[in-house]
Amino acid sequence: MKVLQISFFLFLFSSCEESAVDQTSSLKGISKVTVDQKQFEITWENLQSDRQSSDPFKLKALRHEDSILFIDVAYSGGCSTHNFELVWPEVTTMIYPPRYTVVLMHGANDDSCEAYLSETLQFDLSKYELGLSPDVIDIMDLTIINGSNPDESLKLNN
């Protein structure tokens, strides 16, 4: 009987949910910006036709400091590394203030764990092909659309 009890406790303490709590600080995902008109158009078309191209997540908050864009997100998981990608069109707006609509995509890497995690993503908008200065970011009208739920979005500087 004691062997059965010990086996049960070992199983209980080695479950995915339990390990997710221990691993959340070490499982930081990858955040990147992709500036690609074709990929943006495909992503946008998928959103408009209700085709799922992103794993579920919630947009919580959006802010910037200098040229760094901070996006607070929440999602379930905890057993695998999660990846986020900001898909940005190549098209440059010729209006003032500049206006951009971009899509945030989430890759959960088949993580079926059930911990609910919060993370602050960071994107340096002065890098990549964007080269946006803090002055431009201060005035631009930026809309981030949730790639798993196009009805959910956040706006910067509005």
- The region of weakest confidence among 24-33, 94-103, 128-137, 147-156 is 24-33
Segment 8-65, tens digit of pLDDT: 333 333 444 433 333 333 345 667 888 888 888 888 888 888 776 799 999 999 999 9
Contacts of 143 (CB under 8 A, 6+ apart): 100, 101, 102, 153, 154, 155, 156
With 0.85 as the threshold, say if the pTM is over it: no
Q: How far apart are CA 57 and CA 59, in angstroms?
A: 7
Q: How many CB atoms lie within 10 A of CB 17?
A: 11
Which amino acid is it at 33?
Answer: V
Helix (H, G, I), strand (E, B) or coil at 60: strand
In the 8-state DSSP scheme, what is residue 67?
Answer: T
Distance (Å, whole) CA 34 – CA 72:
19
Residue 73's pLDDT is 96
CA 92 to the chain's CA centroid: 23
4-13 pLDDT per residue, tens = 444 433 333 3
Q: Which amino acid is at 150?
A: P
pLDDT surpasses 90 at 143: yes
